[in-house]
Amino acid sequence: MRILILQTKKINPAHLSFTECLGRIHDVTFCGEGFDGYTSDQMSIYEILDKHPKFDLILTNVQKGNFVQDLDKITDIPKVVIIADYYGWRLTKVNHWLESHKYDLAFALNEHWTVTELKKTGLVPKVFYLPPGADEELFFKSGTPKTIDVMAVYSHAAGLYPLRFHIKSVINDMHITTVTKKIRLQEYADHINKSKIFVHGGDRVGSVFFKYFEVMLCGTMFLTDWASDMQTCGLIGNIHCALFRGPQDLEERIRYYLINDEERGKIAEAGRQYALRNFTSRNISNHFTKIVRRELF
């Protein structure tokens, strides 16, 4: 397929990795801030289409691909959108974009909440869950010594991620070797590989994040609270990742897995193998392609 992808280069690295992988499978043209051909945040879709042979598909990310005008006027090319954050004050804004741009199909990064709520609106005729994935080449560094006890790096946004402040507070009081401050992408991947445990706190709508598989692909044990989308992804607690019940349980779980190297390593390896089989960027790109071909062509 010839795909026009509308997004900025400043998009989340995990999303960028997915669309770059699409570019290795399909004939892809990117347009947006940071890419060639971008002129302004008010440019018309016709400025892009007039410079290229006809595309088979237009793909946008709802948070980072809405700089284009006149997208609603395009009726001879299927339009697909990927929706990440769909909650709280964002609901009205996202629904406005969906109504304005008249997409043919939407992919949501959360199933139990976002897919269900989007279908209720009727703003997009077809809605599907798109699982997260990660790029093994970017994240896995074979043979890296595990010199960091615990890593916990992510955005806070306490309204959506209620446990994250508590997690960092517990970890910082444990007097172990930790990484908890934001770092650059390459350092982020390097530090995951060096870590024995990565602690994660989920959101209020039960999402499985790209971070799950970024960590698992590194052979680092992922310790998280339970999320409803884990069931959709086939993730089994204490098999592919370790679970904690809340802040009161977290320190005990961390100390247990730091002492029990063999059990920690077994979970980490099971998670890595499961991610390799099912949740690489290529896996997700193929899943995306299969649904698009089936539903739109």
136-190 pLDDT per residue, tens: 888 888 889 999 999 998 876 656 788 888 898 999 999 999 999 888 877 999 9
Q: First vs last Cα of the chain: how many Å apart? A: 11
Angle between helices 13-25 and 281-296 (to 10 degrees): 60
For 169, phi then psi, to 5°, come to: -65, -45
Cα 94 to Cα 278: distance, rounded to the nearest angstrom: 29
178-236 pLDDT per residue, tens: 999 888 877 999 999 999 999 999 988 999 999 999 999 999 999 999 999 999 999 99
Give the other-Cβ count within 10 Å of 172's Cβ. 13
Cα 112 to Cα 87: distance, rounded to the nearest angstrom: 13
CB of 34 closer than 8 Å to CB of 20 = no
Tokens describing residue 83? 């929706």
Name the CA radius of gyration of the chain, rounded.
20
Q: Is the pTM of this model over 0.85?
A: yes
Question: Which domains occur in the chain, in start order?
Answer: 2-133+281-296 (3.40.50.2000), 136-278 (3.40.50.2000)
Confidence band, pLDDT 50/70/90 cuts, at residue 129: very high
